[in-house]
Amino acid sequence: MPSSQTISTKQLCLFLLIVTLYLIASVAWFCLAIPPLTDNGSDAHLVGAFAGTALWIVAGYSIAIYVIRKAPRAQG
């Protein structure tokens, strides 16, 4: 019978905090920041919108990698 590894309360709390902050930042970025940047139409604002979205994508992939690497491995 394989032993199951459990996640500690500290790890769960940290993960939930990171995901909550990521979701809040996502809503704020796409609902509050992107519309004024794209409505203006200047080059600097469009570059800023692109850079912020690229940063958002990198943060999302970083969270996914963190979850995958910290996942308990099944022993076989």
pLDDT digits (tens, 9 = 90+) for 20-68: 998 999 898 889 888 887 787 788 888 888 898 899 899 889 888 887 7
Task: Give the separation between CA 10 and CA 32, rounded to whole angstroms.
Answer: 32
Q: What is the pTM of this model?
A: 0.68
38, 45 Cβ separation under 8 angstroms:
yes
**Tokens at 64, concatenated:** 């996914």
